[in-house]
Amino acid sequence: MPEPIDIRIDDVVRLRKPHPCGGYEWTVYRLGADIGLRCGTCGHYVMLPRTTLERRLKRFVSRGPEPEPMDEQTVERERA
């Protein structure tokens, strides 16, 4: 099984097929099993399963900020 693609919040991605409004570029606004995308042209929101997005992804237009590494205190706080 291939490694999942590193997708971050605020990534701008270009998909293979255009949205009906004509836009190709989407901004990632939610991560999880499903990825939330917002069309860069009309602002329409969609949710795609991660596997579907990875298949349709053509390239990254721009990357979101690198996630900060978590220290031990943050990990303990999230467990509680």
Q: Is residue 32 part of a domain?
A: yes
Residue 2 confidence class, pLDDT cut points 50, 70, 90: confident
Enclosing domain of residue 12: 1-64
Q: Give residue-wise pLDDT tens across range 27-67.
A: 999 998 899 999 999 999 999 999 999 999 999 998 888 87
Q: Which residues contact 57 (CB under 8 A, 6 or more apart)?
A: 5, 13, 14, 15, 16
CA angle 27, 39, 11 (to 5 degrees): 10
Q: Is residue 73 part of a domain?
A: no
What phi, psi does 21 have (nearest 5°)? -75, -10
Q: Residue 4: is its pLDDT beyond 90?
A: no
Q: Is residue 60 part of a domain?
A: yes
Q: Is residue 21 part of a domain?
A: yes
| CATH number of the domain within which 50 lies | 2.30.30
Domain count, the chain: 1
Mean pLDDT across 57-80:
78
Q: Is residue 30 part of a domain?
A: yes
* 48 or 77, higher pLDDT: 48
pTM score over 0.75: yes
